[in-house]
Chains A and B, each alone.
Chain A
Amino acid sequence: MTYPAAHSSGSRRRRSRWQSQTVMPWLLLAPAMLFFLVYVIAPIFQSLLYSFYEWDGIGEATWIGWGNYEELLEDDRFYVSLKNNIIWLVLYMLAVPAGLAVALFLNQTITGMRFYKSMFFFPFVISQVVVGLIFTWFYNPNFGIVGELWRFFGAEPPSILGDEDLVTYGIIAAGLWPQIAYCMILYLTGLNNISIDQIEAGRLDNARGWRMLWFIVLPQLWPATFLAIVVTVIGALRSFDMIAIMTQGGPYGSSNVLSYFMYETALSEYGFRMGYGSSIAVILFLIMLVFIGYFLWVMYKNERGGR
C-alpha cells in the first residue's frame, strides 16, 4: 500500500530523517539477525561440513568426502524413513480440507458456539506429547478404545503401533487431530473476513451449496488456505515428537521418518554418528528447501502482482 500523504510532505524533512530511517531499522533488526545467524544460518553450514566427516562427537573427525552420502544411498532405514515422510506429507494434507469442513460447520451463530469452538480447538492447545500418549493408549489392543471397538464387532484387535504396516498411519492419525484444529482456526479467521457483498451478489445470481463454496467462498479464503498448506507441510516434515513418544521409530525402525532417523543416528543412546546424522539432516533440509522455496516464490508473486 502507498500513502500519498507521505509523498507530498517536504523533501527537506525527509532528508533530515534519512539517517535515522536507514540506521534505526538495522539497529532494531540486529539482535534478531545476530541470533538467526548464530543459531540458524551457521548450524546449516556446520551440518553441511560435518556431513563430510566421520565423527563420534568427541574423538578425532576424519574427512570421508561423500562417504556418508554413499552409505545413505545403501541404507534400508533411509528409504523406509523417506517413504514414511512421503506418506506423512500426503496424508497430513487431509488436515486442510478437514479443517475447512469443521470451520464451515462452526461458522454459525448458535448459542454455545463458543464452547463448541473451544472444544474443537482443544487438541491444538495441549502438548503434542500428551496427544501422542493419549493415542498410544487408544491404540492399545488390551485396554484401549480401539481394542474395545474391534471386540464389539467380534474381531481380534490389531496392534496398530506394533505392526510395521499400520504404525505410520496410526501416528499420522494422531498427528492429524491437533493439525485439523490448527487449520480450522486459520479458516475461522479467514471466514470472518469474507465480504458479505460478494455472498449476496452470488445469492442473487442463484449460487448456492457447492457452487457458492467453490466459486465465491474458497477464492476469498485463499490466504488462509495457503497458510494452512504451509504449516501442514512443515508440520509433516518435522513430525518428530509424535514418533518419539509413540514408537521411538519402532517396531524395528518401520515408523521412522528422516527427522527422527537423524536424531537417532546423531544424538540418541546408540547413535553419536555426527557425520552420518548430519548427512541425513542435509537431505531433509534440501527437501524442505524445495517446499520453502516454492512458498516464498508464491508469496513474492502475491506481493508483486496479486494486490
Chain B
Amino acid sequence: MTIMKPLVGLSLAVAMASAHAGDLVINFDDPNPAPKAGFEAAVEAFKAAHPEVNVIVNINDREAHKTAIRNFLSADAPDITAWYPGNRMGPFVDAGQFEDISDMWATDPNLSTSFEAVKPTMTRDGKQWGVPYSYYQWGIYYRADLFSKYGIAEPKTWNELLGACDTLKQNGITPFTIGTKYLWTAAGVFDYLNLRTNGYDVHNGLTAGEIKYTDERIRKTFENWNVMLDRCSFVDNHATMSWQDALAPFAKGEAAMYVMGNFAVAGMKDAGLTEDQIDFFQFPEITPGVARAEEAPADAFFIPSKAKNKEDARKFLAFIARPEIQSEWNMTLGQLPPNSKSEVNADDKFIRKGMQTVSTASGLAQFFDRDAPAEMAKAGMEGFQEFMIKPERMDKILERLDKIQARVYK
C-alpha cells in the first residue's frame, strides 16, 4: 500500500494546481529582487482594481522557465506567461500555442496608440501576440573617470572612437572588455557594427535570411569589426569569461568600455564603481547618413491558447499596458517602459540617456539571437566569437554561415 501514497499525493497536487473559474494563473520568469518586486507590485495593483479575480502567481528561474514553457503550454497552460518577442515567440506562434490578441491592439485605446515603437516586434504574420512591459537600451558603457583622466571626449563618430582607443592603448588600458563564453555578448557588438555600417533594414534582412553573410554589405561590417579588433582591442581570454567575469577588468580600470545592455549597470555598481565613474554613450556613427537604429530587447506577456481564463487574462494584459503601471514597474526595475506615455525615473542618468537614445531611434532591433531563428543565432554567434579570435578566417566563417542560412530558412 505504501506505493499508493505518493500517487495520492500527486493527484492531490495536480488537483490543487489546476485552477477554478475566476482564477488567473500567471507564470513569471525572473526571481531576482528588482524584477520580482516590480512584477508583484503590478499584480497587487491589478488585484486592487479587480477584486473579483483570484490571481495565482508562479515565479520560476529564467533558464528553468525557458525549458518549462515547452511543457506547460501544452500540458497545463497558465492563463498568462512571460516570454520574449521577435523570433523567440515564433515557434509558439507557429505551433498555435499563443493566443492572437490583435483585436486588443486594434481597439484598446491605450494599447493602440502608445506602443508604436515596439509594435513591430510583437507582430508575426501581421498579428499581435503579446504585451510588452519593459525594455532596455544597449550602447557603450564607459569609465568616465578614465576618459577624463586622459582627456577623451565621448566619441560621436567611428574615427573619434578609434582615436579614443589609440589614446587608451597608449596609456596601457585595453579599450573594450567583453566575455564571450556564452556567445551573445559578441552578437551585441556585431549588431551595432552592422546597424551603424548598413542600417536597420540590412539588420532585418540578414536576420530574416534575405541577405547572405557573404554579401558585400555584411563583409563591410566584418571589415569594420576587424579594424575595431585591431585598434580597439578587446580583453584577452574573453572566450573563457561570462559577461559578469568581464566586469572585473572594467572595475579594475584595466579596460575602459563595454558594449552592453542597461542591466550591466547594477553589476558595475556591485563591482564597486560609483555613479560618477561610469557613464553611457550611444554607439558612434560609422557610415555617415545611415539612420540611427538601436538594440532594445523587450520582455512581454502572452496568453497561451490553452488558457482557461482568457477573459481575465486580457484584462490583465490591458491593465499592465497602462502608462502609470508601466512607469512604476520600470522605476523598480531600472528599465524603460514601452508605453510612450509613461514617465521614467529622471534621477537615473542611464534611464534618462537610454530613453533619449531609444525614443529618437529610427528603428529598434530586438537582438541578433531574438531576431534570427535559434539555430541561425547559435551558429552566427559562434562565428562572431571565432572571428574575434581568428579574424583571418573571415571568408571561411561567412561561407559556413551562408551554408547554414540556406538550410535554416528553406
Chains A and B belong together in one complex: yes
A267 cross-chain contacts in B, Cβ below 8 A? 67
The listed residue with most A CB atoms (<10 A of its CB), out of B63, B66, B70, B92, is B70
B219 interface residue per 8 A CB criterion: no
Bound-state Cα–Cα, A162 to B239, Å: 5
B232 interface residue per 8 A CB criterion: no
Bound-state Cα–Cα, A140 to B236, Å: 11
| Cβ-defined contact, B91 with A250, below 8 A | no
Bound-state Cα–Cα, A261 to B352, Å: 43
Bound-state Cα–Cα, A203 to B90, Å: 76
For window 227-242 of chain B, which residues contact chain A by CB distance below 8 Å?
236-240
Name which of A52-60, A109-117, A214-222 contacts chain B: A52-60
A58 with B374, Cβ < 8 A, contacts A76-B400, A141-B237, A252-B382 known: no
For window 283-324 of chain B, which residues contact chain A by CB distance below 8 Å?
none
Bound-state Cα–Cα, A273 to B407, Å: 13
A205 interface residue per 8 A CB criterion: no
A159 interface residue per 8 A CB criterion: yes
Chain B's nearest CB lies how many Å from the CB of A81? 13
A248 cross-chain contacts in B, Cβ below 8 A? 181-182
Partner of A57 from the list B66, B70, B389 (CB cut-off 8 Å) is: B70
The listed residue with most B CB atoms (<10 A of its CB), out of A71, A164, A264, is A164
Q: State the total of A-B contacts with C-beta under 8 angstroms.
A: 74
Q: Mark B82-115, 1 if CB is under 8 A from A, else 0.
A: 0000000001101101000000000000000000
| Cβ-defined contact, A59 with B94, below 8 A | yes
Q: Which residue of A lies closest to B90 (CB)?
A: A56
| Cβ-defined contact, A252 with B375, below 8 A | no
B371 interface residue per 8 A CB criterion: no
B161 cross-chain contacts in A, Cβ below 8 A? none
For window 235-270 of chain A, which residues contact chain B by CB distance below 8 Å?
247-248, 250-253, 264, 267, 269-270
Bound-state Cα–Cα, A248 to B386, Å: 15
| Cβ-defined contact, A272 with B91, below 8 A | yes
Bound-state Cα–Cα, A271 to B375, Å: 6
A161 interface residue per 8 A CB criterion: yes
A247 cross-chain contacts in B, Cβ below 8 A? 181, 240
A142 interface residue per 8 A CB criterion: yes
Chain B's nearest CB lies how many Å from the CB of A30? 14
Bound-state Cα–Cα, A248 to B70, Å: 22
| Cβ-defined contact, A270 with B237, below 8 A | no
A58 with B70, Cβ < 8 A, contacts A250-B385, A272-B91 known: yes
12 more A-B residue pairs beyond the given contacts A60-B95, A252-B386, with a C-beta to C-beta distance below 8 A: A56-B95, A58-B97, A59-B91, A141-B237, A142-B237, A161-B239, A162-B237, A247-B240, A248-B181, A252-B239, A252-B382, A269-B374
Give B residues with C-beta under 8 Å from A: 63, 66-67, 70, 73-74, 91-92, 94-95, 97, 180-183, 236-240, 369, 374-375, 377-378, 382-383, 385-386, 389, 400, 407
